[in-house]
Homo-oligomer: A and B are copies of this chain.
Amino acid sequence: MMLQEYMEEQKKHIDARLKELLCTDVKAFETLYESMNYSLNGGGKRIRPILMLAVIEMLGKNPRPYLDMACALECVHTYSLIHDDLPAMDNDDYRRGNLTNHKVYGEGMAILAGDGLLTYAFELMASQKQIESSKIAAIISTFAQAAGPAGMVGGQAFDLESEGNMEIGIDGLKLLHKAKTGVIFKTAIDIAAILGDATQEERNALDDYALYMGLTFQITDDILDVVGDSHVLGKPVGSDEKNKKATYATIFSLEEARRLARQAAESASTSLKPFGDRARILKELVEYMLVRVN
């Protein structure tokens, strides 16, 4: 199967399951559920859950029983976007071509929609009866660490404090990327390694892949903010330069950023060597991240 076909197939399952998950029969909670679903089903590419399922498959397991785990990952990703877009944070009006959550439901409800999605993700992870509970505890511990104050939330706090400060330099940029974006890609892969019973050698290879693949994604994201088409991206471009935000495309030249992205993608592919032919989809996925236009 080609990558595009593979991604569409997985996305179909993920989208269908995400539509089923969050519903309520309590009238008083309806607006909250509507606002959570608005962002959750607002056209995400589902890269993180697809990545998780693809790694499980590469490890020789059927990924289907782990669909809800993948959906939990998307819930946490969506919560982070809703909170990032708030006026007190990045103050963005559009996301994926739609109005951001707080533009539709108001700030208070958007904060709660994020809180709800984050908490629900843990409920979903903890309730997977078909998975051994020792694995569930390990997954939640790994995941919460990655998404919490020492990971994604920390990265967002650093981002908030360093906005308008181009002086954070390449080390600051690396930390920011690692904590804010890379960490959830890495977690998607860590969870897959737990569920797929990866050996130590396989884990080491996956760690390298996660690092370079996340970097490829991030540099491309930074480049797209400069050269992307706002209609295709579904959000305005040029905001990083306007906000004097240190990114790979504002600290380096575009040419240099492109070279770094290409280098990261090659390192990502190389790290999958131990998996031989089984790595084809994941190699193509990193290529896709490099050439993506949205």
A-B pairs with lowest CB-CB distance, top 10: A123-B144, A116-B149, A119-B148, A88-B107, A32-B157, A126-B140, A126-B141, A88-B108, A28-B158, A29-B154
**Taking the complex as formed, is A153 at the interface, i.e. its CB lies under 8 A from any CB of chain B?**
yes
The reply to whether the CB of A52 lies closer than 8 angstroms to some CB of chain B is: no
Inter-chain contacts of A31 with B (CB < 8 A): 157, 161
Instruction: Give the contact-size bracket for chain A.
Output: 35 or more
User: Which of A122, A132, A147 gathers most chain B CB within 10 Å?
Assistant: A122
Check if B156 sits within 8 Å of A112, measured CB to CB.
yes
A133 lies within 8 A of B137 (CB): yes
What 1/0 mask marks residues of chain A from 114 to 151 whose CB sits below 8 Å from any chain B CB? 11111110110111000011101110110011011110
Q: Which residues of B contact A120 (CB under 8 A)?
A: 144, 148-149
In the complex, given contacts A26-B150, A123-B140, what are 11 additional A-B residue pairs having Cβ atoms less than 8 angstroms apart?
Answer: A28-B154, A29-B149, A29-B157, A32-B154, A83-B111, A115-B153, A116-B153, A119-B147, A119-B149, A123-B141, A132-B133
CA distance A140 to B148 in the complex (A): 16
Contacts of A43 in B (CB 8 A): none
Contact A109 B148 (CB under 8 A): no
Q: Which residues of B contact A179 (CB under 8 A)?
A: 28
Main secondary structure of the interface of A (DSSP, over half): helix
Contact A112 B153 (CB under 8 A): yes
Can you list 10 A-B contacts (CB < 8 A)? A28-B158, A28-B175, A29-B150, A29-B158, A86-B111, A112-B160, A115-B118, A123-B145, A126-B140, A133-B134
Considering residues A125, A141, A153, A156, which has the most beta carbons from chain B within 10 angstroms of its beta carbon? A153
Q: Which residues of B contact A22 (CB under 8 A)?
A: 149
Taking CB atoms, residues of chain B closer than 8 Å to A117 are: 149
Q: Which chain B residue lies CB-closest to A161?
A: B31
Measured CA separation A106–B109 after assembly (Å): 19
Bound Cα distance from A32 to B152, whole angstroms: 12
A 159-190 binary contact with B (CB < 8 Å = 1; else 0): 01110000000001001100100000000000
Check if A54 is an interface residue, CB within 8 A of chain B.
no
What is the distance, in angstroms, from A115's C-beta to the closest C-beta of chain B? 5
The verdict on A89 contacting chain B, using a C-beta distance below 8 Å, is: yes
Q: Does A24 contact B (CB under 8 A)?
A: yes
Contact assessment for B24 and A149 in the assembled complex, using a CB-CB cutoff below 8 Å: yes
CA of A160 to CA of B107, assembled, Å: 11
Question: What is the CB-to-nearest-CB distance from A92 to chain B, in angstroms, rounded to a whole number?
Answer: 13
Q: CA–CA, A70 to B160, complex, Å?
A: 31
